[in-house]
Structure 1
Amino acid sequence: MRSFLTSAEEAVYGRFTGPPERAVLERFFFLDDADRDLVASKRGDHNRLGFSLQLVTVRHLGRFLEDPLDVPGVVVDYVASQIKVADPSCVKAYLERKPTRFEHQAEICEVYGYRSYPSAKDGLLAWVGDQAWATGDGPKALFYSAVARLRAELVLLPGVTMLRDDVAGARKAAETRLYAALAGVATAEQAGDLEQILRVPEGQRRSQLDLWRRGPTNPTGRGLVKSLDRVAQIAGLHLGSVDVAGTGVPTRRLIELARMGFEAKAPKLAALTYHRQIATLLATVRWLEVTATDDALELFDVFMAGELIGRAGAARTRRS
């Protein structure tokens, strides 16, 4: 799957990116009395310091490191000073017994309530899908929201590839469901009419959608007639009465789809998948029906103002 994260973003995921500043150390790497009591139960300075580093690491990063000692030196020194380890370099011995790090990780999870990603995956992805449906946020925004949610719920972060693909999949499913819901409220005849407005009529250079999107702007009698014809043509699709509210699609998403329909060229819209195309055109035409009416009223106001000014000028000329 193509990554929406840059290689640099993937490289720093769940890792220390440099030495934390003093304020960050004091906020996120402080060990309270309960922490220190638990640390004190470990034998040897190297085990006490290694355990402590794993504890502050999972709190700060949301995951354990493959190499528990791959932490900035200032973190090692700051943690060592709190648990009274005079020689922080002794922590090198922490890796001599391989099972120790994993035993400590399991203990930290049990004592502090950390859970594995598989145990929380279904709930997280349902939440991501709801966010995608409601907000239309892109995959990167949803990814970082998912990271924040996992950390807040004390769920250990999975590998970057796994979480990236899971978030992308949940978003795609939500988008597919949204497009299908909107396309489903249009009748087969209405869907056919929507597809038709993307085609360029014989002898014309632009599609019907392009003509509707531009609209007449000349404040003359002829321009006003064209503007009213535009309103009648759009209303003739009878899409304003379609029960869009019943789909549960948020207004924000409808506006986003309509904006895309206003801005994208007809060939790009024609290349969309069927449900996405119909959903986008449905939102666009419904918005066009409102804006076309507003445009006609505005043009009428300008036209009438010009007529009244013209008549008043003619009357003054006759009196003089």
Structure 2
Amino acid sequence: MTIPSFSRGQMIREASLTEAALAAVAHCRRDHNRLGFAYQIGFVRLFYRFPAQQPLEVCDELLGFVAMQLNMDAARIDDYAARQHTVSDHQNRIRELLRLTAFGPEQAEALERFLFEESCRLEQTAALLARAREFLRERRVLSPAESALLRTVGEQRRRAREHIVATLAAGLPPGVATALDRLLEVTEGEAVSGLQAIKANPATPSPIAMQGLADKLAAIEATGVLAVDLSWLNANYQRALFHYVRKGSADRLREVARPRRLAALACFLRQSYR
């Protein structure tokens, strides 16, 4: 299991043993058990999950920091790791000591609802992962495996994206939807599609460039998209759809499912008009 990166400041803040933790450590028999118990406290406070048990997941930097606080040899962790039953028992005791809740079906459902709402305003996976970890920490819920967390984020991103594009596309008047579809066509006598003409930017300011800008704004107005209410859609998500169209070609957009295509084009035109 991959150990997330952390700063030394984070380690000192989260893995410094409190008086209560030291008192609990002192109740353990033998040095290797005291070291292992303290190490697991530091691990769960730093990463908000317990280390894997078989074999024991060891973060060398964290182990060294904990061993230093106890004035013990970090190598004693090997004796502790060989006793999987003790490792498991200690995790149960630490969960009670720190008043942590295991990640179960109820917590998974709450996290899914939260991530769906967050995914309606955030697009980046890294940002959603950070929000998921904050959500769990605030509720003192242990984090699931990183792969499970990533899978949940991915599923809720997909659900939110489908919800947004379906809602936006369904709210477009038929005339606006037709006008957006026509932007991908190359009409007779034109060299490029209407979308490409709107995306074009003049290299230098000039009277011709100013006329081109006026024509572009008029073309956007003519679609009727400016009358569509998008106030419910988060600005970050609108910008994400804007960049999706800006980087893509008309040919590529034609292959996209119509609800997503219409939603992306609507956001692109609204952002381009500003």
Work out whether the TM-score is over 0.5: yes
Whether contact under 8 Å (2:11, 2:46) holds in the other structure is no
Separation (CA, whole Å) in 2 of partners of 1:76 and 1:263: 47
How far has the Cα of 1:181 moved from its partner? 1.7
Q: Contact 1:45/1:91 (CA < 8 Å) preserved in 2?
A: no
Corresponding residue to 1:61 among 40, 43, 47: 47
Separation in 1 of the partners of 2:157 and 2:88? 34
Q: Which moved more, 1:176-185 or 1:40-49?
A: 40-49
Match of 2:24 among 33, 38, 49: 38
Hey, what's the Cα distance between the residues in 2 that align with 1:144 and 1:210?
A: 37
Moved more, 167-176 or 227-236: 227-236
| 8 A Cα contact 1:209 1:266, kept in partner | yes
Name the SS of the counterpart of 2:144 in structure 1.
Answer: coil
Residue 235 of structure 1, CA deviation: 2.8
Q: Is contact 1:179–1:279 with CA below 8 Å preserved after alignment?
A: yes
Query: Where does residue 134 of structure 1 map in the other structure?
Result: 121
Any stretches of 5+ residues in structure 1 without a counterpart?
Answer: 1-10, 292-320
Aligned 1:237-316 pairs, distance under 5 A: 237-245=223-231, 248-288=232-272, 290=273
Corresponding position of 1:304? none
**How much has 1:89 moved relative to structure 2?**
4.5
**Farther-moved stretch of structure 1 (47-56 vs 59-68):** 59-68
Cα distance in 1 for partners of 2:66, 2:10 equals 13
Larger radius of gyration: 1
Structure 2 regions of 5+ residues with no counterpart?
Answer: none
If the length of structure 2 is used for normalisation, what is the TM-score?
0.81
Give the superposed CA RMSD.
3.2
* Among 106, 114, 131, the residue aligned to 2:92: 106
Q: Is the 8 A contact 1:212 1:230 kept in 2?
A: yes
Per the normalisation by structure 1, the TM-score is 0.70
How many pairs align?
Answer: 268
In 2: Cα distance, 1:113 partner to 1:55 partner: 12
Summarize deviations over 1:71-114 as a string: whole Å, max 9, x none.
42x654553454465x6544433245432111110111112022
Residues 83 and 270 of structure 1: CA distance in aligned 2, closer, same or farther (over 3 Å)? same
Which residue of 2 is the match for residue 70 of structure 1?
Answer: 58
Work out the percentage of aligned pairs sharing the same amino acid: 25
Aligned-partner Cα distance in 2 for 1:91–1:232:
71
Please report how far the alpha carbon of residue 125 of structure 1 lies from its aligned counterpart in structure 2 after TM superposition.
Answer: 2.7
